[in-house]
Amino acid sequence: MSEIATFNAHPTVAVRAESPLAFSRVTVATLASAQGAGVCIRERALLGHLILRGKADDAGFRAGVESALGVSLPLKMGPVSRDDGRGVSVQWMSPDEWLIVVPAGEDLATEQRLRAALSGHYAVMQVSGAQTLLELSGPNALEVLKKSAGYDFHPRNFPVGKGISTTLAKSTAVIRRTGDTQWELIIRRSFADYLFRWLLDASEEYGVFVAR
Amino acid sequence: MSQRNRLATGGRIDRTRPLRFTFNGVSFQGYAGDTLASALIANGVDVLNRSFKYARPRGVVTAGADEPNAIVQLGATEAGQVPNVRATQQALYDGLVAKSTNGWPNVDRDLMGVIGSLGGKFMPPGFYYKTFMSPASAWPKYEQYIRKAAGLGRSPRETDPDIYDHMHHHCDVMVVGAGPSGLAAALAAARSGARVILCDEQEEMGGSLLDSRELIDGKPAAEWAAAVVAELSALPDVLLLPRTTANGYHDHNFVTLHERRTEHLADLAPLANGRRQSRARMHKVRAGRVVLATGTHERPLVYARNDVPGNLVAGAVSTYIRRYGVVPGQRLVLSTSNDHAYRAALDWHDAGREVVAIVDARDKPDGDLVAAARSRNIRIITGSAVIEAQGKKRVTAAVVAAIDIAGFRVKGSTQELACDTIASSGGYSPVVHLAAHTGRRPVWRDDLLGFVSGGVPGQIPAGGVNGRWSLRDAIADGFECGVRAAAETGLTAGTFTLPTVAPVREGKPVALYQVPHTKAAMRAPKQFVDQQNDVTAAGIELATREGFEAIEHVKRYTGLGFGTDQGKLGNINGMAIAARVTQQSIPDVGTTVFRPNYTPITFGAIAGRHCNEFFDPRRYTALHGWHVERGAAFEVVGQWMRPWYFPRGNESMHDAVQRESRAVREGVGILDASTLGKIEIQGKDAREFLNRLYTNAWTKLEPGKCRYGLMCKDDGMVMDDGVTACLAENHFHMTTTTGGAAGVLDWMEMWHQTEWPELEVYFNSTTDHWAAMTVTGPNARKLLTELVDIDMSAEAFGYMDWREAKVAGVPARIFRISFTGELSYEINVQANYAMHVWKALFEKGAKYDLTPYGTETMHVLRAEKGFIIIGQETDGSVTPEDLGMQWCVGYKKPYSWIGRRALTRPDTKRSDRKQLVGLKPLDPQVVLQEGAQIVLDKEIKVPMPMVGHVTSSYFSPNLGHGFALALVKGGSQRIGQTVYLPMADGKIHAAEVVSPVFYDSEGARHHV
């Protein structure tokens, strides 16, 4: 009897996948071009998202994760481990929890690599359908974040590379700084429309462009 | 109309930019840089309002936030109406429209004035309490009349078209107030490398520097202010917020600021770059240190008829002349207790108008400003005060007398000085509001004759609020406090030299609040303490005489400090009077409590963006777009927008639900069940954890199987339910109720983290990862067979099994569970593929008339089966046994589980507890009201013992009659009895107590 039931969520035939923003993307109007926009929002839809749980103080666990993912396992809140070339990132979420983002369709393979490398008390769960990633950028992106969250986004407290999880409006988001004026927000599917519309509304005064 | 009080030169207004505005329907002109108050003064408008209680004519008294009288209703449009705006703080803009807040029918001929002037003696403090106390039933009538007579502005009757927002900030040093000490503090902190926020409530930063007579580094003080602002604005980590009031100081150096972003521009927020901008913004600042540089408010003297228009505080006179280039009259009498107020007379004189006299309460004033007045040959009357103003709608004369302050009496004869303006100064009160918001009481300082901060950790008072009143001291103190604030946040001081300010020698002030009159206060003409609330010195005396001696009681009995100005001008004088008549010291009397907000805030700014669609998050499923297109009516369930029913054409809700219910029982229906909470559980102790969490047993559930479970709280009461599937030996998929999902996950984490950390198990919410579609009805199998790649036969895929399959090409987990009582499959796919599967089901489902149904039909169908809904049949006081679900409780499990202990108490075993039953109304057309109380006797008598209530009630098209679920005391013993439900309209319904399972009680329909 197998201990864990892995599941390949992806069809092998051509099937139209819809991101969490499929509904709001067609029902909300924004600027036609990025020219003059203070804020730009781009959805990086349909990526692979996984939650990893395990013991940070177990050397075998750490080594296993790093060998399976090819990036270091962050052991405290701070810089997100990333390999942008392969599109892999690992973010510390809590003392025994990490968020792994991988390219579209690679969630099961990532899970399988982790399971092959790990043993004992750990868990890997796919959440690719549960969330989506938004890139928020532009000269006024910071103001939009300050309107939406109580966290201190100043570079002294939030340098490029750092990732956190916090409240965003009346929902939550994972927020990562990828550049001086570039951010990634990872938001839950069911709150995605609310947050997307919130961000557009908060960005309105700066001019907002939503990239296709 | 000419601006007859406008000076030809001087002031910070722009005479090349005239602005039109309307006050009480009359058109006037002012200039850019004016406030509404300065523009009205320029135009010679004396009466701005009628007073609240006595309807006395009132004019401008101050030039700032402490203004009690010049309170206007602003707005050119109905939607743009803003009540209770201080004209002294409202920037003039072209097209501004304002009205008096009080005055019916108008300020010049006020009907209430007649009653008020008669009523002076008849309307003492407590007048309303005393007069309108009985009968209590008549109060609504009284109130209607009193409100019309009094009134303090009105809200708009139309929806506010403007938008508002919030912004969060973090900084090392928050400086409140951009006067001399605030600017110095901000500069010192910023040069030390601190992240600084500097806010100021005025249009322009500079505070008292903008109307100062003094020089800084040999140049006008305003130039230094401009240079500092320019330097600060060039620094990246400095945020300057003009037109921004620090309204609340909260624990842990959390400060709320109210920024008025467009109220200086137009009635409604204009577009900026073609885009909407917020009218007001609330800034939420978390600061390392807060430098309080809020300065002082000047206290007027309390003398008879001191409310007649033309009575101002002395500093305001200087502000109007030097900052706005207007002189508020022709002939001035100044009554003062201190040197500093001499500025008003000097500025008046230098503006070319007549200073009739300076009346100084001290015997031998001798400071630099006094010398300056003498050198201008201004008459100074010493040892005296203005004891009464004359005139009705404008001051015509000042009555002056020598006074004995200690004896509180007038000495010798009085003289009348003809004048149109009386400026008064009784000293300066540090603006300690923000130092008191967290509950710290301010402390009296005899040397200052004022209250200062009682000391708040993390807060540093600087300059005027710290008792450092001269310009030279205020700047030096500001720098010092700025350096200290930066140092306390771990930064090292930057370099700078103090600017040079020539010292000004000021003599010692004398303590004078209420000025004695030739008549006792109770008999003298009214001496106003709080002009906005018409509180007089006599009123305070009367209150203390009637036993209201504590200052909080005086406040509530007289109304002292209750206005929109919160007594900024009058409170200290009121306390001083209470102290005098109760023969205490001012610190013994103490202050009332200062509370946020410092000045009124529009509700829009408090709500910010959290209104309309953003009031509460709306959660959508992956199929939301389809539901919208299909015309679904939605209901909100735990923030989710769930389809309630899908009307066809003009179908009513009832008809739609009846049709949908029949479709499921007779054909096949489909429900978007994605909102159900889903929790993935992994770990070798997952099964044991479930055993402890649920009331029933999980040891033997095999992979491929599902089981219904009940969760109780530790008190034995049902908290949630749902089906959990065993995916693999150490792997489970749990479902919870839609609304309970987050709470259940928290509950599991709590027990795991605090009680059973040794169990090797992890949980994670997968609610959003999976979309769930329930295909249910006799034709469900036929439909699914067309779309799946597995054997759907009853033998291969039995009831309470789950199978992995591809549905329309998409990998799915299909759970054969039923909440309708019909053959039922719940298809779970990764949410990104849900729309494809849903549409494929409808493609193949057309020939079966696949019917989408919503939550209402779901409720009807489950109720026909007697299936409970958490929060409907349960309310936190219902046990599994109460629900007749003993079969779901595993008392024999080897390890205890949550709720077991409570469920073995005698109370939870009582046979007369409220138990779940069905109710069948004797009249089949009746649908009982949910929540209706149940009684055993048809006859109404008192007392009427109530034995239970209806929890769910519907009309069933499948049964052909109304039916209900109910909790009834000892209900399981009452099957077959008739109970009664008296309704509010007098009707009494009768119903038979029956089994809660109304439909297919043997479960034949889903075992196929």
Is the Cβ of A53 closer than 8 Å to some Cβ of chain B?
yes
pLDDT for B942 equals 84
Q: Which of B621, B729, B832 sits opposite A2 (nearest CB)?
A: B729
Q: Which of A1, A193, A206 sits opposite B620 (nearest CB)?
A: A193
Decide if A1 is inside a domain: no
Q: Which of B617, B680, B769 sits opposite A129 (nearest CB)?
A: B769
Query: Which of B861, B895, B920 is the last residue before a domain boundary?
Result: B861
In tens, the pLDDT along B864-891 reads 999 999 999 999 999 999 999 999 999 9
Q: With beta carbons less than 8 A apart as the criterion, state whether B828 and A9 touch.
A: no
User: How far is B943 from B911, CA to CA, in rounded Å?
Assistant: 23
CB contact under 8 A, B766 and A125: yes
Pair B585, B664 in one domain: no
CATH number of the domain within which B706 lies: 3.30.70.1400
CB contact under 8 A, A194 and B682: no
Given a cut of 80, whether residue B720 has pLDDT beyond it is yes
Q: Contacts of residue A201 in chain B, CB cutoff 8 Å?
A: 609, 614
Q: Of B832, B816, B834, give the one whose Cα is nearest residue B824.
A: B816
- Alpha carbon separation from A112 to A11, A132, A199, B520 (Å, rounded): 18, 22, 36, 94
Q: Could you tell me the pLDDT band of residue B51, with boundaries at 50, 70 and 90?
A: confident
Least confident of A168-172, B49-53, B412-416, B668-672: B49-53
Q: With beta carbons less than 8 A apart as the criterion, state whether B425 and B336 touch.
A: yes
Strands annotated E in B884-945: 914-921, 933-935
Decide if B616 is inside a domain: no
Q: Tell me the one-letter amino acid at B892.
A: K
Query: Which of B741, B765, B789 is the last residue before a domain boundary?
Result: B765
Q: Which of A12, A46, A150 sits opposite B168 (nearest CB)?
A: A150
Is the Cβ of A204 closer than 8 Å to some Cβ of chain B?
yes
Q: Contacts of residue A124 in chain B, CB cutoff 8 Å?
A: 682
In tens, the pLDDT along B67-84 reads 999 999 999 999 999 999
Decide if A96 is inside a domain: yes
Pair B360, B450 in one domain: no
User: How far is A159 from A80, CA to CA, in rounded Å?
Assistant: 11
Is the Cβ of A44 closer than 8 Å to some Cβ of chain B?
no
CB contact under 8 A, A18 and B624: no
Q: Contacts of residue B808 in chain A, CB cutoff 8 Å?
A: 15
- Joined tokens for residue B749: 């984490």
CB contact under 8 A, A146 and B832: no
Decide if A18 is inside a domain: no
Q: Which of A26, A121, A171 sits opposite B617 (nearest CB)?
A: A171
In tens, the pLDDT along A76-133 reads 999 999 999 999 999 999 999 999 999 999 999 999 999 999 999 999 999 999 999 9
Decide if B522 is inside a domain: yes
Decide if A26 is inside a domain: no
Q: Contacts of residue B165 in chain A, CB cutoff 8 Å?
A: 147, 202
Q: How many domains does chain A fold into?
A: 1
Q: Which of B272, B624, B728 sits opposite A23 (nearest CB)?
A: B624
User: How far is B973 from B609, CA to CA, in rounded Å?
Assistant: 55
Q: Of B543, B595, B718, give the one whose Cα is nearest residue B256.
A: B595
> Is the C-alpha dihedral spanning B717, B719, B725, B726 positive or negative?
negative
Least confident of B101-110, B430-439, B593-602: B101-110
In tens, the pLDDT along A2-58 reads 899 999 999 999 999 999 999 887 766 677 788 889 999 999 999 999 999 999 999
Decide if A97 is inside a domain: yes
Given a cut of 60, whether residue B346 has pLDDT beyond it is yes
CATH number of the domain within which B520 lies: 1.10.10.1100
For B372-433, give the secondary structure using H, E and C: HHHHCCCCEEECEEEEEEECCCCCCEEEEEEEECCCCEEEEEEEEEECCEEEEECCEEECCH
Given a cut of 60, whether residue B120 has pLDDT beyond it is no
* DSSP secondary structure, A95-130, as one string: TTEEEEEESTT-HHHHHHHHHHH--SS-EEEE-TTT
pLDDT for B106 equals 64
CATH number of the domain within which A104 lies: 3.30.1360.120
Q: What percent of chain B has pLDDT over 90?
A: 90
In tens, the pLDDT along B367-420 reads 999 999 999 999 999 999 999 999 999 999 999 999 999 999 999 899 999 999
Q: Which of A26, A121, A190 sits opposite B683 (nearest CB)?
A: A121
- Inter-chain CB pairs, A–B, below 8 Å: 184
Is the Cβ of A30 closer than 8 Å to some Cβ of chain B?
no
Is the Cβ of A150 closer than 8 Å to some Cβ of chain B?
yes
Given a cut of 90, whether residue B345 has pLDDT beyond it is yes
Is the Cβ of A32 closer than 8 Å to some Cβ of chain B?
no
Q: Contacts of residue B162 in chain A, CB cutoff 8 Å?
A: none
Strand, coil or helix: what is B127?
A: helix
Q: With beta carbons less than 8 A apart as the criterion, state whether B350 and B371 touch.
A: no
Q: With beta carbons less than 8 A apart as the criterion, state whether A40 and A211 touch.
A: yes
Is the Cβ of A123 closer than 8 Å to some Cβ of chain B?
yes
- Alpha carbon separation from B467 to B63, B166, B294, B475 (Å, rounded): 21, 34, 11, 12
Given a cut of 90, whether residue B108 has pLDDT beyond it is no
- Count Cβ atoms below 10 Å from residue B549 Cβ, excluding itself: 15
Domain limits at B215?
163-296+430-488
Q: How many domains does chain B fold into?
A: 7
Helix (H) or strand (E) holding B656: helix B653-666
User: How far is B454 from B456, CA to CA, in rounded Å?
Assistant: 7
pLDDT for A2 equals 82
Q: What is the mean pLDDT of residues B792-803?
A: 97
CB contact under 8 A, A147 and B166: yes
In tens, the pLDDT along B805-819 reads 999 999 999 999 999
Decide if B897 is inside a domain: no
CB contact under 8 A, B618 and A193: yes
Mutate to test the interface with B, among A125, A133, A157 (most CBs of B within 10 A): A125
Query: Cα B448 from chain centroid?
Result: 36
- Alpha carbon separation from B425 to B312, B368, B510, B517, B547 (Å, rounded): 9, 17, 11, 17, 31
Is the Cβ of A10 closer than 8 Å to some Cβ of chain B?
yes
pLDDT for B150 equals 54
Q: Could you tell me the pLDDT band of residue B121, with boundaries at 50, 70 and 90?
A: low
CB contact under 8 A, B762 and A9: no
Q: Contacts of residue B276 in chain A, CB cutoff 8 Å?
A: 204-205
Q: Contacts of residue B672 in chain A, CB cutoff 8 Å?
A: none
Mutate to test the interface with A, among B259, B285, B611, B620 (most CBs of A within 10 A): B620
Buried b (16+ CB within 10 A) or exposed e, B27-54: ebbbbbbbbbbbbbbbbbbbbbbbbbbb
Q: Contacts of residue B834 in chain A, CB cutoff 8 Å?
A: 18
Mean pLDDT value across chain B: 94
Asked whether this complex has an ipTM greater than 0.85, the answer is yes
Place of tokens 């046994």: B881
Q: Contacts of residue A17 in chain B, CB cutoff 8 Å?
A: 832-833, 836
Q: Which of A157, A169, A205 sits opposite B272 (nearest CB)?
A: A205
Q: Could you tell me the pLDDT band of residue B174, with boundaries at 50, 70 and 90?
A: very high
User: How far is A89 from A162, CA to CA, in rounded Å?
Assistant: 12
Q: Contacts of residue A170 in chain B, CB cutoff 8 Å?
A: 610, 614, 616-617
CB contact under 8 A, B609 and A198: yes
Pair B183, B290 in one domain: yes
Decide if B841 is inside a domain: yes
Decide if A2 is inside a domain: no
pTM of the full structure: 0.94
Taking the CA of residue B597 as centre, how many other CA atoms within 13 Å lie in the half-sphere pointing to its CB? Answer: 18
- Count Cβ atoms below 10 Å from residue B521 Cβ, excluding itself: 23
pLDDT for B147 equals 58
Is the Cβ of A31 closer than 8 Å to some Cβ of chain B?
no
Domain limits at A154?
39-211
Decide if A138 is inside a domain: yes
Mutate to test the interface with A, among B764, B803, B813, B841 (most CBs of A within 10 A): B764
Q: What share of chain A is helix, strand, coil (3-state, %, to 5)?
A: 25, 35, 40
Decide if B701 is inside a domain: yes
pLDDT for B606 equals 96
Pair B72, B211 in one domain: no
Decide if B420 is inside a domain: yes
Give A 178-197 residues with CB within 8 A of chain B: 188-195, 197
Pair B112, B177 in one domain: no
Residue B272's beta-bridge partner residues? B275
CA torsion angle A28 A166 A110 A191 (round to 10):
-30
In tens, the pLDDT along B817-828 reads 999 999 999 999
pLDDT for B887 equals 95
For B68-117, give the secondary structure using H, E and C: CCCEEEECCCCCCCEEEEECCCCECCCCEEEEECCCCECCCCEHHHHHHH
Q: Contacts of residue A18 in chain B, CB cutoff 8 Å?
A: 622, 832-836
CB contact under 8 A, A152 and B835: no
pLDDT for B2 equals 80
CB contact under 8 A, B830 and A3: no
Q: B371-379 — which CB contacts under 8 Å span 24+ positions?
A: B372/B342, B372/B346, B373/B342, B373/B345, B373/B346, B373/B349, B376/B346, B376/B349, B378/B345, B378/B349, B379/B355
Is the Cβ of A167 closer than 8 Å to some Cβ of chain B?
no
Is the Cβ of A157 closer than 8 Å to some Cβ of chain B?
yes
Pair B241, B259 in one domain: yes
User: How far is A167 from A172, CA to CA, in rounded Å?
Assistant: 4
pLDDT for B111 equals 57
Q: Contacts of residue B745 in chain A, CB cutoff 8 Å?
A: none
Decide if B872 is inside a domain: no
Helix (H) or strand (E) holding B529: strand B528-530
Query: Which of B765, B783, B809 is the last residue before a domain boundary?
Result: B765
Q: Could you tell me the pLDDT band of residue B635, with boundaries at 50, 70 and 90?
A: very high
CB contact under 8 A, B622 and A150: no
Decide if B7 is inside a domain: no
pLDDT for B117 equals 56
Q: With beta carbons less than 8 A apart as the criterion, state whether A154 and A160 touch.
A: no
Given a cut of 60, whether residue B1 has pLDDT beyond it is no
For B487-505, give the secondary structure using H, E and C: HHCCCCCCCCCCCCCCCCC
Pair B639, B778 in one domain: yes
